[in-house]
Amino acid sequence: MNEQERTNGPRAGVDEIPAPQDPAAEVVNEEVVEDAEVVEEEADSLEDAEVVSETGSLEDAPAGAGEAAPPTDPLADALRERDSYLELAQRARADFENYRRRATAQTAESERRGKAALAKGMLPALDNLERALSAAGVETGVVVDPAGEPPSEEVSARDALAAGVALVLSELRLALVRSGVISYDPVGERFDPLLHEAISTRQADGIASGTVLETLERGYRVDEQVIRPARVVVAG
């Protein structure tokens, strides 16, 4: 090799031989690349996890969470409380009125039943007194005022006894009237099965069929309730 060749280097057209590569360096480079990819994947997964957790927390949060509660109006609260107490008072008043009406009706019904029971117990005695006066020829339909003046004319013992019985009968009738028990004699009226009990029938000239001819026992009622119908003879 001459001096010119040493100065100018290899000859033109001659291929350069590449420098040999170190296998250890290639392995190191591959490991670095792999580590970088793993780190990048972990970073992406962490970002996804954070996004999911934030989304889940937003979805799980109740509606209005984090918002300030609206301020309450003391006047509106007081009005609502007043209306509630007023409604309770009105209900209590209505319940009391219903109870009072029921109690009044029950008291009146109990009083009426008591009067009816008392009258029923007295009716047999009244009937016997009326029969005794009828046998003595004394009119039993006339109520004698016990406060009235007794007759001054002289009477026989029989008449005196009849007058005394009539007085007792009148007092009993007045006591029943004051208690609301009314007696009735339906002679001449049209027969009513709700008020009368027909014991027998009899033909009578000039009287329409179904007319009450005679009252055998007077009827009694309390208000509109009949405690005993009048026992009568009806025209046939």
> What DSSP string runs through the chain?
--HHHHHH-SPTTPPPPPPPPPHHHHHHHHHHHHHHHHHHHHHHHHHHHHHHHHHHHHHHSPTTTTSPPPPP-HHHHHHHHHHHHHHHHHHHHHHHHHHHHHHHHHHHHHHHHHHHHHHHHHHHHHHHHHHHHHHTT--SSSPPPTTSPPP-S---HHHHHHHHHHHHHHHHHHHHHHTTEEEE--TTSBP-TTTEEEEEEE--TTS-TTBEEEEEE-EEEETTEEEEPEEEEEE-
Could you tell me which residues come within 8 angstroms of residue 171 by beta carbon, excluding any fewer than 6 positions away? 146
Q: pLDDT band at residue 165, thresholds of 50, 70 and 90?
A: confident
Q: pLDDT band at residue 7, thresholds of 50, 70 and 90?
A: very low
The answer to pTM > 0.75 is no
pLDDT of res. 48:
53
pLDDT at 3 over 60: no
pLDDT of res. 70:
65
Locus of tokens 């219903």: 98
Of 77 and 29, the one with more pLDDT: 77
Question: Measured in whole angstroms, how far is the alpha carbon of residue 31 from the centre of its chain?
Answer: 88
- Tens digit of each residue's pLDDT (9 = 90 or more) over 170-228: 898 898 888 889 999 999 999 999 999 999 999 888 889 999 999 999 999 988 889 99
Instruction: Quote the crossing angle between the two packed helices 157-178 and 74-135, to the nearest 10°.
Output: 170
pLDDT at 17 over 50: no
Average pLDDT over residues 135-149: 60
Q: pLDDT band at residue 147, thresholds of 50, 70 and 90?
A: low
Domains of the chain: 99-235 (2.30.22.10)
